[in-house]
Structure 1
Amino acid sequence: MPELSIRFRDWEEPAGRLPMGDAGAHHRVGLTSRHLLRDGRPWIPVSGEIHYSRVPRERWRERLVLMRSGGIDVVSTYLIWIHHEPVQGQARFDGDLDVAEFVRLCAELDLHVVLRLGPWVHGETRNGGFPDWVQQAPVRHRTDDPGYLELVSAWFQRLGKELAGLCGPDSPVIGLQLENELYTEPGHLLTLKRLAREAGLSAPIWTATAWGGADLPAHEVFPLWAGYGDGFWVDAADGWAPNFRAHFFFSHEWDDPGVGADVRDLQALEQTSTASEPGVSGFPPATCELGGGMASTYHRRIVPAAEDIAAVANAKLGSGSMWQGYYMYAGGLNPAGIGPVQESHATGYPNDLPVSDYDFHAAIGAAGLPSRAHAALRRQHAFLQAFGSDLADMPSVLPEQQPHGLGDVQTLRWALRSDGRSGFVFINWHQPHVPLPTRRNVHLSAELAENVINLGPFDVPPATIARWPIGLSLNGIQLRSATASALTALTDGTLVLVAEAGIDVVVDADAEQSAEGDVLRLTAQDRSATVIVIAAADADRVWVLDDRLVVLSEHPVWCDGGRIFVEADRAPRLEILRADGRRVPALSALAEAERARAVQVSQTREFGPPLASYGSFGGRASAPSPESIAQQAGVFELEDVGEPVAGTRRLLEIEWAGDVAQLCVDDEVVADRFWDGTPWTVDLDTVPGASGAQVSLRILALHPEADVWLDVAALDRRRAEIEPLAALDAVTLSRLTTWSASLSELG
């Protein structure tokens, strides 16, 4: 393969401060035309979306500390109006709706907060988050109609009573988002900003979504971009759309006109354009809504792989993103007791979603378990924690040999971020649906300001998602290059790399090298440096916690209050990686936990014949009604799901096949799920009454001709059946225990 080359190019314009928020409103956070600042230093934030109103309050802390252990330092959350005020004048902010307490908890955990105020938020909620009484009001919604502004002003004033005291110079609230996916009303965004300020809400950064060619008020809001590798908002029969494919390439184009396109016509009915100068220039690129998973709609049930999610994030970072944010990072469940609050055909939306399930296949699922995506992303986030301040001052450069369109599966996808002396080579050789071949005998050449870095030859296998350091100074020793991804730098300067599967690790440095196991010693005259290489086989076990503590664990790990915690259904194996390369066992003398056990089930009603169609809306299949499920579903009684025990969590894992499933307690539906080929996990200790023999399961069969899109694994199983697909394969109960130890005791 011929040499692929790239040439460093410096910033075209000098950096300037952007006082687009509340001038002088925050002691820690600021914004320039190149990047954000935290404590006066360049900063690339990593934000993760979690909806406090979709997570039980007793689970907030464990979700947040797990997000933080995944490298999240900014929490973003919608304030979903319909959750708080389904009845006009009876807004609630207690229990799971206590947003002020949620913000205080974030502050306690040293997490910044972006509050996405709306009032229209989408979020796959009924009416886009409007309560029915707002949706039905005789006003022009999402405009400066006086009647609509009167409703919004009252809501913002109510939010101000809860949150104004938490805004200000030392607040964890660093950002306020106005509206969501509003394309033609820049003047209305300014009005919302004024109303929020009048309610006492303030932040150093005001944001708005910019995708879809949104017309934003110039210099008043920070434009945010999105990037999803696939989406439920296309029809079941549609293939992999170009706007999804594009996110697996390095590019300096940030807009994605496909996000939210299926609901754009709904707002167009009520809006008229009041065009002004587009307010998207002069700001650093911020990809604050990268797909951290994907929701399942009835007609299209996507299961993104961990590599899909990590590849899109890596592509944006290599392309110059200055803010990495994910929607969703932690999934949840819609609140019960206020009627259906999900997006549905019944409310005029093009998609039917489950009544309760909002797992989103997120990095942290609705039951609080991290997925493989959490592992893939936290390696990128550890990299940003260690090197983000330097990376923020490095412009992105694309190679001279660019792919020939989105169908090109031969030209290597790579990019450079550099300050002219050092930097990082980004490689992205993964995409779903269309396989990529192994690229053989690759040579890369990066021309910096004063020298040229050559890498190769090497082969690049599929699923390579890499960030290779070049030109780094390690204690005065020049590391010219390394063919392994930078993970972190320990407090003593030790560089930690993670190997790529199928690529030999080659370290090129101006020093003598001696290797012992995973440790490489570099020596030159009176200087020395250490490089630790973690094998690709261990990559998913790596966690970088507070103070650059590197831990290897297959179970969830986090730090809180000077202690390290691990949650598992058996005595966990936890290793601390030391600067000398030793792996020191920790938490090794622990009692065995209760092992996962099979739950005995008895089928009390056979599967009824399903329909090929339960109706449609806009050409998309509609979900079966509750009555259809109640009449036609097979019913299974779970004989014993145990009882709550202090200090543990009961997780119920259901492996099944069919169309729709419902979990019931005393015959009342408490949770539901559309089948997509993946197990369904439920945190039983957050379900009232879910104990003993009170729990049952309903499964509706999937008709062979039902017009629903399934991912490969589920589609294969469906095609293997001639009759309607319906099965309960296994039900397993796990009891997770949390162990902890003092960080000071670990030495």
Structure 2
Amino acid sequence: MNIDVQPVPAAQRLRAEAPPPPRRGHLPLGEPEGTADRIEITSGWIERAGEPWFPITGEIHYSRLPRDRWSEVLGHARAGGLDTVATYVLWQAHEPEPGQFRWDDNLDLRAFIELAARHGLDVIVRMGPWAHGEARYGGFPDWLVERSVATRTNDADYLELVRRFYRQIVDQLAGLAHVEGGPVVGAQMDNELYDQPEHLATLRTVAEDLGLRVPIWTATGWGGAQVPESLLPLYSAYADGFWEDSATEWPHFAAFHFRYSEVRDDLTVGADLREALDGIVLDPSTVPLKDDAALPFATCELGSGMHVAYHRRPLVTAEDVGALALAKIGSGSIWQGYYMYAGGTQRRGAHGAEQESHATGYPNDVPTLSYDFYAPVGEHGQVRPHHHLLRRQHLWLATDGTGLAAMRTTVGGGSEDPSELRWSVRSDGYRGYLFLTTYQPARHPLDPQPGLQVAVELDDTVVIVPSRPTDVPAGVSVVWPLRYPLTDELVLRSATAQLVTRIADDAGEIVVLCATDGIPVELVLEGAVDVHGAGTVRHDGGHTVVDLLGVPGPGALVELPGVRVLVVDEVTANHLYRLEVAGRDRLVLTDAPVYELDGDLVAHPDTGSVTVSLLPAPASLTSEDAEVVAGTAVAAPWSTWTVRTSAGQRPLASGLRPEAAAPPEPGRGGPMDRLSAPRDFSGAAWVPLDVPDELMADVDRTLLRITWTGDVGRALVGDEVVSDHFWHGRTWDLDLTPWREQAARDGVTLELLPWRGDTGVWVDPSVRDVAEGITVPSVEIVRVAKAVLVAEEAKQ
């Protein structure tokens, strides 16, 4: 070893050993040798075309989105770094009456999958038959519930109905399976089924008998589920849960998900349904929770937001989502799967709204229409901060996920004690990544870590990070590279900044790192290295230490032999995309949500003027939808354009204090006797809003944004309820675009019920001191534009 590790406390030293070779061929999953782009499931990771593959999957429900918004949402998903989308096939939507199937309009599963492929996304089909997803009867049609069949079992009559439904799905997927060169790489059987492994296995057999061939067959594995060997169990992690009781301040399970641990299961997700619907109460001492060495650690429901129920309304933040996701990577996840990645709207059927409710025997009442979930992409296409926080992680995984997936996880420390360092390492023995976190949600913060240094013993050396003790503030989660190869000859021994991506321009390669607010940036390079640009040099233990000169940002370039390192700040990183534009991968730095389609940039600004910077720069950037003007570069080596559109915000009303004449008395219902959502709005406060047509003209989408406090609100256009909202501290958005003509003619009416603290509804402590009654500080129109930006290279 060439560095003395004595100065580092024992609690901050560990040996990161190389992983053992994975087991192969022991699972009835994957594809046979010789298959093009072969997918194989090993005991440690998933392989694709012979290389470890780190899938990144987001849940998007085609049947809960307008068909004309599919492309936009899928575009944002791909721009956010996803390579796969998952989607429920809701039985109630596709077979509303026995034997009468619908695959039209936004129920066209095949068209959705083909569009996903156009955006470069593979697809996991969650086939049910039971889905949950806060859908009425878990997605079962009413006619099925009314029949005397033993659902979710191997009952012959039930299986015959399932076979009929599955046949329809398989027909929709004809020619789209991965083995056929298509995008469908996996299928999930049922959902949250805990004690029927034989039935789960039968569902796969039924789908295969009908002709479906996919390499990845999955089942949800949380809650101690008994998953048969023919299915890969996938796990979940949420920062909070609407399904908890209203007396629960913070669910016991939540803190665990902000620590590093090789334990995969969570016994509490969906526990209310297990108890209420299935009568299953788990004894944690009887459920094995340790790592299963035969199976890779894969997830499908990392909470990238959180829904609300009437009785309990969590306020999960973007920072919660980012920290939880990174904690799972630091715990050994080799597949990041998010629920929900894009919000949607509950369907309406012959029986009215098709949401989970006390009326259909569920423990929770949820909104009748909104399924926004505070997802990275909202119910109406709103792009949220965690879309950007997660994209930073996904760009890193796209850059080095092949290496990371095959690395072994070693947890260095971290308990429930808020003062103890939480850290882990993923390594192949030679190189790896150091994970550190001082993050928990604001109401349960962790302590900072003053004078931090850790020592990681690899096969042939010990890496101490940072080179000098450094204070790590509270509220951060980081992953720092260890011995990352910058070039074939140059190794980044360590850095107190995170790898984002790497890209080439005409001058060579650029490796992008992101600094963390409050932590000084140092780059340690192995050996003696010639350094120029935005860094000062010192030497330590035979290595070259570069301290960043000035502040991180889009122009902070450190010039090294054969490569440049760009160290950006967090604000810049949150506006940074990597997209293929005009036939070439480019970094795109912009303050508008963007994605790529067929080589063009598609922007959806909600302000009148935005900037777009590109690296490497094309010769020109033009648009038929907007005014595009070449501007001053953000900093070398970027080129910048200003894009002006008709987007922007327009006020409609402010400072309102409406009174509800006769709000209904609180009620309870469902199998757990929880607070029920009010259905009687006859005594609600009415707020009529005039919406001039010109405010909705000449834009792609018009949102009505309501900042308010109260209990429950509904919005009506004419006599039709077009949106509803359980107040929980966030603004209420609804899309007026489908109702433009009627809204311009008749206006929009808000029906609002007042906040009453003694009702017992749980809201986050940060908003709990709200005044009794109703306030409407502001109502505004948000005009969202669409601009297709065409880049062209100079002719040779």
TM-score (norm: length of structure 2):
0.87
Q: 1:277 to 1:435 in 2, by over 3 A?
A: closer
> In 2, are the aligned partners of 1:20 and 1:205 still within 8 Å (CA)?
no
Residues 57-110 of structure 1, C-alpha deviation per residue, up to 9 Å, x if partnerless? 000000000010000110000001112222222221100111110011111222
- Map 1:25-424 → 2, pairs under 5 A: 27-28=36-37, 29-167=39-177, 168-218=179-229, 220-268=230-278, 282-338=294-350, 339-399=352-412, 402-403=413-414, 405-406=415-416, 408-424=417-433
Deviation at 1:644, TM superposition (A): 5.3
Deviation at 1:453, TM superposition (A): 0.7
- Aligned-partner residue type, residue 582 of structure 1: A
The DSSP-based 3-state class of the residue aligned with 1:504 is coil
Partner of 2:530: 512
Partner of 1:575: 613
The DSSP-based 3-state class of the residue aligned with 2:444 is coil
> In 1, are the aligned partners of 2:594 and 2:604 still within 8 Å (CA)?
yes
Residues 593-625 of structure 1, C-alpha deviation per residue, up to 9 Å, x if partnerless? 243111248989842243451233323110001
- Measured in 2, the distance between the counterparts of 1:22 and 1:532 equals 39
Deviation at 1:251, TM superposition (A): 0.5
- What is the root-mean-square deviation of aligned Cα atoms in Å? 2.6
Partner of 2:690: 638
- Measured in 1, the distance between the counterparts of 2:493 and 2:146 equals 64
Residues 685-723 of structure 1, C-alpha deviation per residue, up to 9 Å, x if partnerless? 13475531422211111222111110133213x2xx2xx
- Measured in 2, the distance between the counterparts of 1:519 and 1:164 equals 51
Residues 366-409 of structure 1, C-alpha deviation per residue, up to 9 Å, x if partnerless? 0101111111100000000001011112111111xx23x42x10
Q: 1:539 to 1:712 in 2, by over 3 A?
A: farther
Deviation at 1:447, TM superposition (A): 0.8
Residues 514-567 of structure 1, C-alpha deviation per residue, up to 9 Å, x if partnerless? 2336444454xxx43211100133232222223652222221011111111221
> In 1, are the aligned partners of 2:655 and 2:775 still within 8 Å (CA)?
no
The DSSP-based 3-state class of the residue aligned with 2:708 is strand
Partner of 1:696: 749
Deviation at 1:638, TM superposition (A): 3.1
- Measured in 1, the distance between the counterparts of 2:739 and 2:437 equals 42
- Map 1:517-532 → 2, pairs under 5 A: 518-523=555-560, 527-532=561-566
- Measured in 2, the distance between the counterparts of 1:139 and 1:567 equals 49
> In 1, are the aligned partners of 2:699 and 2:783 still within 8 Å (CA)?
no
Residues 452-491 of structure 1, C-alpha deviation per residue, up to 9 Å, x if partnerless? 1111311111221211111112221121111011101113
Partner of 1:498: 514
Partner of 1:561: 598
Residues 208-257 of structure 1, C-alpha deviation per residue, up to 9 Å, x if partnerless? 01111111112x11110111111111101013222111000000000000
- Measured in 1, the distance between the counterparts of 2:661 and 2:574 equals 43
The DSSP-based 3-state class of the residue aligned with 2:513 is strand
Which of 621, 644, 659 is the matching residue for 2:675? Answer: 621
The DSSP-based 3-state class of the residue aligned with 2:163 is helix
Give ranges in structure 2 of 5+ residues lacking alignment. Answer: 1-7, 535-549, 618-633
- Measured in 2, the distance between the counterparts of 1:657 and 1:605 equals 11
> In 2, are the aligned partners of 1:573 and 1:585 still within 8 Å (CA)?
no
- Aligned-partner residue type, residue 355 of structure 1: T
Partner of 2:778: 730
- Aligned-partner residue type, residue 302 of structure 1: P
- Measured in 2, the distance between the counterparts of 1:611 and 1:306 equals 34
- Measured in 2, the distance between the counterparts of 1:251 and 1:106 equals 34
The DSSP-based 3-state class of the residue aligned with 1:226 is strand
Pair 1:8 & 2:16 matched: yes
- Aligned-partner residue type, residue 208 of structure 1: A
Deviation at 1:154, TM superposition (A): 1.3
- Measured in 1, the distance between the counterparts of 2:589 and 2:93 equals 39
The DSSP-based 3-state class of the residue aligned with 1:742 is strand
Residues 430-461 of structure 1, C-alpha deviation per residue, up to 9 Å, x if partnerless? 11121122211111111111011111311111
Q: 1:277 to 1:387 in 2, by over 3 A?
A: closer
- Measured in 1, the distance between the counterparts of 2:635 and 2:213 equals 47
- Measured in 2, the distance between the counterparts of 1:667 and 1:321 equals 49
- Measured in 1, the distance between the counterparts of 2:637 and 2:287 equals 59
- Measured in 1, the distance between the counterparts of 2:58 and 2:476 equals 24
- Aligned-partner residue type, residue 614 of structure 2: I
The DSSP-based 3-state class of the residue aligned with 2:133 is coil
Deviation at 1:181, TM superposition (A): 0.6
Partner of 2:457: 447
Deviation at 1:727, TM superposition (A): 1.6
> In 2, are the aligned partners of 1:540 and 1:554 still within 8 Å (CA)?
no
- State the number of aligned residues: 729
- Measured in 1, the distance between the counterparts of 2:522 and 2:271 equals 46
> In 2, are the aligned partners of 1:235 and 1:300 still within 8 Å (CA)?
yes
- Measured in 2, the distance between the counterparts of 1:533 and 1:63 equals 30
- Measured in 2, the distance between the counterparts of 1:208 and 1:734 equals 41
- Measured in 1, the distance between the counterparts of 2:740 and 2:570 equals 42
Deviation at 1:647, TM superposition (A): 5.5
**Which stretch shows the higher mean deviation, 353-362 or 102-111?**
102-111
Q: 1:174 to 1:271 in 2, by over 3 A?
A: farther
Give the fraction of aligned pairs with identical amino acids, expressed as a percent: 38
- Aligned-partner residue type, residue 707 of structure 2: E
Pair 1:662 & 2:704 matched: no
Deviation at 1:323, TM superposition (A): 0.1
Q: 1:512 to 1:17 in 2, by over 3 A?
A: farther
Which of 454, 475, 486 is the matching residue for 1:474? Answer: 486
**Which stretch shows the higher mean deviation, 447-456 or 321-330?**
447-456
> In 2, are the aligned partners of 1:599 and 1:640 still within 8 Å (CA)?
no
- Aligned-partner residue type, residue 568 of structure 2: I
Which of 575, 584, 587 is the matching residue for 2:638? Answer: 584
- Aligned-partner residue type, residue 711 of structure 1: D
**Which stretch shows the higher mean deviation, 453-462 or 221-230?**
453-462
- Measured in 1, the distance between the counterparts of 2:737 and 2:18 equals 55
Deviation at 1:39, TM superposition (A): 2.7
- Aligned-partner residue type, residue 602 of structure 2: F
> In 2, are the aligned partners of 1:558 and 1:564 still within 8 Å (CA)?
yes
> In 2, are the aligned partners of 1:143 and 1:271 still within 8 Å (CA)?
no
> In 2, are the aligned partners of 1:559 and 1:565 still within 8 Å (CA)?
yes
The DSSP-based 3-state class of the residue aligned with 1:552 is strand
The DSSP-based 3-state class of the residue aligned with 1:118 is coil
> In 1, are the aligned partners of 2:646 and 2:699 still within 8 Å (CA)?
no
Residues 404-439 of structure 1, C-alpha deviation per residue, up to 9 Å, x if partnerless? x42x10111111111122111112221112112221
Q: 1:24 to 1:429 in 2, by over 3 A?
A: same
**Which stretch shows the higher mean deviation, 61-70 or 682-691?**
682-691
Deviation at 1:183, TM superposition (A): 0.7
TM-score (norm: length of structure 1):
0.93
